[in-house]
């Protein structure tokens, strides 16, 4: 089997550990030139180094691949710009952005603090904006200059973004925002040769090990299939980053263990039209009629 990403230049945020690390190694094995971005911080935000990113770079290079480390903070405008520039400076171009970096500040909504909310939005939602925004401008300019563009943005949402998750209001809101961002990016950037998709993965990371310790535990049997290994998520991202995925855009994929599915989002429901302004009692009766016929919503994770 050939290398489906041969020569593709990819930046991956938060790629020093967990799912991002698996993406970087998987893309490297498939011939991509990888910019491994990671600030090297602890889960509480302390510390910071390019150590984890450097380790991933060495692993890619040890198998004959090409990679460089980058320690820019993608939750800032300049950090996103610097990351895009790092790819172009190192490899002469950029083809794929994989937005993966994230943090968690889990708290029941009534106990959430402003700082926890702001940080979660800054890293997840703004972090998905900055690198992709600078990359999009680069691809737009190339397309307008008449150069061929076959680019990808791959965003990372979550089941919490799709369904909500008790105790994770900020995280769920940020991940839900990423889904909406994905749809708009796909609609706007297709004219420049850019496709945009999102994944909602379930896998073992430093974040999920803390929240879902039992579910994320590795199997005792070393020969058993490790369903929560982050390496299970990477093949989908590798394929989405390849030329083979051309034409696939604006979609959200759930991926876990050996399973992959296409998530189906909001749709317009049945309409009752009075043709005039409603009285409150009337509109209430109409709502009850509509709800009686509507399918029950998927429960929020952790509810009930």
Q: What are the catalytic residues?
A: 158, 171, 175
Specify the 3-state DSSP secondary structure of 33.
strand
* CA distance to 167, 202, 298, per residue, from 108 (Å): 4, 21, 20
> How many angstroms separate the CA atoms of 19 and 205, rounded?
7
Distances in whole angstroms, Cα of residue 260 to Cα of each of 105, 140, 202, 232, 235: 28, 31, 11, 10, 11
Its sign, for the CA torsion 3, 131, 68, 198, is negative
DSSP-assigned letter for residue 244:
G
The strand pairing partners of 253, in sequence order, are 199, 262
DSSP lists the bridge partners of residue 165 as 301
Q: What is the dihedral of CA 94, 40, 172, 121, to 10 degrees?
A: -80
Burial tier of 195 (Cβ tally within 10 Å: 0-12, 13-18, 19+): buried
Q: String of b and e for 285-294 (b: at least 16 CB within 10 Å)?
A: eeeeeeeeee
* Sign of the Cα pseudo-torsion (197, 202, 208, 209, in order): negative
CB 24 within 8 Å of CB 34: yes
Structure tokens at 235: 């093949």
């Amino acid at each position: 089997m050939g290398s489906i990403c041969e020569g593709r230049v990819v930046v991956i945020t938060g790629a020093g550990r967990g799912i991002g690390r698996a993406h970087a190694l998987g893309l490297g094995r498939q011939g991509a030139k990888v910019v491994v971005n990671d600030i090297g911080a602890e889960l509480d935000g302390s510390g910071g180094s390019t150590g984890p990113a450097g380790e991933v770079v060495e692993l890619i290079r040890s198998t004959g691949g090409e990679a460089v480390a980058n320690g820019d903070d993608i939750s800032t405008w300049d950090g996103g710009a610097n990351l895009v520039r790092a790819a172009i400076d190192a490899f002469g171009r950029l083809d794929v952005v994989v937005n993966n970096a994230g943090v968690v500040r889990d708290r029941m909504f009534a106990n959430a603090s402003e700082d926890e909310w702001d940080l979660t939005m800054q890293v997840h939602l703004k972090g998905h904006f900055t690198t992709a925004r600078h990359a999009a401008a680069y691809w737009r300019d190339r397309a307008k200059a008449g150069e061929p563009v076959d680019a990808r943005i791959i965003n990372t949402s979550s089941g919490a973004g799709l369904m909500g998750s008790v105790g994770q209001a900020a995280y769920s809101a940020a991940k839900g925002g990423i889904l909406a961002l994905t749809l708009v990016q796909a609609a706007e950037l297709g004219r420049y040769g850019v496709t945009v998709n999102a994944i909602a993965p379930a896998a073992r990371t430093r974040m999920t090990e803390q929240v879902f310790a039992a579910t994320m535990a590795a199997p005792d049997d070393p020969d058993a299939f490790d369903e929560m290994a982050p390496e299970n998520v990477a093949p989908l991202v590798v394929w989405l980053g390849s030329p083979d995925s051309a034409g696939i855009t604006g979609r959200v994929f759930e991926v876990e263990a050996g399973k992959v599915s296409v998530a189906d989002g909001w749709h317009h429901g049945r309409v009752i039209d009075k043709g005039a302004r409603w009285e409150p009692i009337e509109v209430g009766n109409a709502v009850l009629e509509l709800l009686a016929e509507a399918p029950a919503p998927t429960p929020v994770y952790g509810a009930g």
